[in-house]
Amino acid sequence: MMGRNPFTLIERHPCCGGEVHFLSHQSQELGLPARVSIFLPAKALAGDRVPAIHVLAGLTCTQETFLIKSNAIRHAADHGLALVAPDTSPRGADVAGEDDAYDLGTGAGYYVDATTDPWAAHYRMGSYVRRELPALVEEHFPIMAGRRGIMGHSMGGMGALAVALGDAGAWQTVSAFAPISSPSQVDWGHKVTDAYFGGHEAEWAQYDPCLLLEAGMTHPGTLLVDQGLDDEFLSRLQPERLEQAAKAAGQSLTLRRHEGYDHSYWFVQSFIQDHLKHHAEGLL
């Protein structure tokens, strides 16, 4: 039975034959109001349920960034796919210091569940993007239940790979742009370990794509990953580690390296069409 619709519509705009909705809702996992953006293609507006691709943005971004900057909507419209874009962290958790750095706290939820106070009460983006948000949008929008793709950029690329490898049955397709391949091995992840995990590095076993692969968690589809070779964060993204871990696990991976491209959404929008095609082939 359908529950009460928890979403409040903030803005709605016709776009590419469909509609973009900017929404808020009270999240049970986050214990706070959360913002989410959704693109519904023409077919969904006509009443048919369509598969959705969940899109996870990177550090400093919001629920608006991926939809505005990646050009994903144009191609989602062409394929008749919905897009669901969550925020990158809880907002207003009121944790001391959460706004002090770009890579921890606000805008930096890393799609993990914090286990230690004062972060643990609200920093639960892991459970939010894995379970709460997909279930809610599939209940209240013309989005097909249980037929999902996930993609992301940078911190969101890490999140997309981790979500799909962690529960391959729930996510049929996955792709990433410049993902943080092994967060437990780099300074971004060390900050997360010290703060969100209270020093317990073992928590990364659920969220680090390379650790998941090394533990035998694979996905039956192909992981499509694009990486710019002039990416200013390349040494912390470590695509070579992902390549090694995938090879050892027998995971199908298409890792494309692009001469001259950096970390920005100019890079993302250059290859987004291929990602939408990859998801469409697996979802439709």
Ligand X SMILES: N[C@@H](CCC(=O)N[C@@H](CS)C(=O)NCC(=O)O)C(=O)O
Judged by CB under 6 A, does residue 61 bind ligand X? Answer: yes
CA dist list (Å): 34 to 64, 140, 144: 13, 16, 22
Residue 60 binds ligand X, judged by CB under 6 A: yes
Is there binding between residue 58 and ligand X (CB under 6 A)?
yes
Interface stretch with ligand X, choices 109-117, 119-127, 140-148, 257-265 (CB under 6 A): 257-265
Q: Is 154 a catalytic residue?
A: yes
Nearest-approach distance from CB 38 to ligand X, in angstroms: 20
Residues 86-105 close enough to bind ligand X by CB under 6 A = 102
Stretch that binds ligand X, among 32-40, 75-83, 192-200, 261-269 (CB under 6 A): 261-269
All residues at 6 or more sequence positions from 117 whose CB lies less than 8 Å from its CB, including other chains: none
Among 56, 73, 95, 155, binds ligand X (CB under 6 A): 155
- Pick the catalytic residue: 154, 175, 181, 184? 154
- Residue position matching structure tokens 């680090």: 208
* Single residue of 59, 129, 137, 237 touching ligand X by CB under 6 A: 59
Q: How far is the CB of 178 from ligand X (least distance, A)?
A: 8
In the range 66-85, which residues lie near ligand X by CB under 6 A?
69
- Do 18 and 39 touch, CB atoms closer than 8 A? yes
Is-catalytic flag, 200?
A: no
270 binds ligand X (CB under 6 A): no
Using the rule CB under 6 A, is 125 a contact of ligand X? no
Nearer to ligand X, 51 or 58 (CB): 58
In whole angstroms, the minimum distance from the beta carbon of 101 to ligand X comes to: 9
Cα four-point dihedral sign 179, 282, 211, 145 = positive
Beta pairing class for 32-40 and 82-86: antiparallel
> Distance between CA 270 and CA 76 in Å, rounded?
15
The active-site residue out of 231, 275, 278, 279 is: 231
Q: Are 162 and 64 in contact (CB under 8 A)?
A: no
What are the residues whose beta carbons fall under 8 Å from the beta carbon of 135, sequence distance 6 or more? Answer: none
By CB under 6 A, name the one of 154, 173, 238, 251 that touches ligand X: 154
Q: Does residue number 264 form part of the binding site for ligand X (CB under 6 A)?
A: yes
Tell me whether residue 263 is one of the annotated catalytic residues. Answer: yes
* Binding footprint of ligand X, residue count (CB under 6 A): 12
Identified binder of ligand X from the candidate list 265, 271, 276, 280, rule CB under 6 A: 265
Q: What is the dihedral of CA 220, 183, 278, 56, to 10 degrees?
A: 120
Least Å distance between CB 144 and ligand X? 29
| Residue nearer to ligand X on the CB measure, 69 or 257 | 69
Interface residues with ligand X (CB under 6 A) are 58-61, 65, 69, 102, 154-155, 263-265
Catalytic residues: 154, 231, 263
